[in-house]
Amino acid sequence: MIGRDLLGIEDLDRADLERILETAERMQEVGTREVKKVPTLRGRTIVNLFFEPSTRTRTSFEIAGKRLSADVVNFSPTSSSLTKDESILDTARTLDAMAPDAVVVRHKVAGVPKRIADALAAPVINAGDGAHEHPTQALLDLLTVYQEKGRIDGLSVTIVGDVLHSRVARSNIYGFLKLGAEVRIAAPPTLIPPAIETLGVKAFTSLREAIDGADVVMALRIQRERLDGAYVPSIREYSATFGLDRTKLRFAKDDAIVMHPGPVNRGVELSHDLADHRPSVILDQVRNGVALRMAVLYLFAGRPLAPAREG
């Protein structure tokens, strides 16, 4: 049963995921119309509350809201509690007093959407919090894989890269496991989260072993500041060992697809050639992102009345 907020894939069950994906498939049709707009959320107000810059995700949510006829407001405070400006909760309460129908939150610190949800009447949708979760990214990845492969159950999925700092990885691990896939991760030991096997995945430091026989290989974006010697010795060493190219990919299944949440550091996570052409499906992911976020806004912001919040 879908709750009031969408804070993470960890909180959802298989039926919730299937319902969101089915709704997203219906929303895809809207994107093919000449007039890409339906009146579903007319009169509803959605606030994109982005404490961390994100052009791509924010734009995707904005287009999704507009295609559903919602009024979408973008609010990007530059302040944080660390700079002694207005606190995040005060910002959120201020917004709440303006009675939005949903608040989409992005913050660089894990847990902020949860804290905001605890303080607000409006439903909160997590658009990425620190290294915690990025549920709509995982959902659009699930939709993309489902449409490519016709199933999720029984697939072998490998996630490559900076899993330690990745909310995309965590949400995808939960999502693929809940829908019956097997998940492996591949990273240098310094970028494998402690006790990651407790989430139900197998961790490898050998890319070859990790992608052996994989149906899906997902490369994670690596932030350059992690590569300055703090976690791996250099970009060159990282891309030589974990950067995907057609040679390394031959250990995966012949029909394996390659995914990336974007933006791609070309020549680091993916070779130039792989970033642009099949088997990578990066632009399909972006395209599906809009339909998926329409589904999420419809399911979480389109209810007649918000149910009472639990404890």
Number of residues that bind another protein (CB under 8 A): 27
Shortest distance, CB of residue 241 to another protein, whole angstroms? 23
Among 45, 48, 60, 80, which residue interacts with another protein (rule: CB under 8 A)? 80
| DSSP H helices in 207-266 | 207-211, 235-242, 246-249
Options 24-32, 80-88, 180-188, 264-272: segment touching another protein (CB under 8 A): 80-88
Smallest CA-to-CA distance from 88 within 54, 46, 44, 118 is with 118
For residues 192 and 218, the answer to whether their CB atoms sit within 8 Å is no
Nearest CB to another protein, comparing residues 132 and 260: 132
Among 72, 181, 196, 268, which residue interacts with another protein (rule: CB under 8 A)? 196
Among 2, 63, 89, 286, which residue interacts with another protein (rule: CB under 8 A)? 89
What is the phi/psi pair of residue 73, to 5°? -115, 130
Options 15-23, 65-73, 86-94, 146-154: segment touching another protein (CB under 8 A): 86-94
For residues 51 and 87, the answer to whether their CB atoms sit within 8 Å is no
Q: Please work out, in degrees rounded to the nearest 5, the angle formed at the alpha carbon of residue 186 by the alpha carbons of 57 and 274.
A: 60
How far is residue 76's CA from residue 69's CA, in Å, rounded to a whole number?
Answer: 22
Smallest CA-to-CA distance from 75 within 59, 51, 101, 96 is with 51
For residues 184 and 210, the answer to whether their CB atoms sit within 8 Å is yes
What x-and-dash track marks residues 8-37 binding another protein by CB under 8 A? --x---------------------------
Among 42, 76, 87, 208, which residue interacts with another protein (rule: CB under 8 A)? 87
Binders of another protein in range 110-169 (CB under 8 A): 110-112, 114-115, 129-133, 167
Indicate the SS3 state at residue 98: coil
Shortest distance, CB of residue 311 to another protein, whole angstroms? 10
Nearest CB to another protein, comparing residues 169 and 274: 169
Among 38, 63, 109, 177, which residue interacts with another protein (rule: CB under 8 A)? 109
For residues 109 and 133, the answer to whether their CB atoms sit within 8 Å is no
Nearest CB to another protein, comparing residues 200 and 213: 200
How far is residue 20's CA from residue 278's CA, in Å, rounded to a whole number?
Answer: 27
Residues found near another protein in the complex (CB under 8 A): 10, 80-82, 87-89, 107, 109-112, 114-115, 129-133, 167, 170, 193-196, 198-199
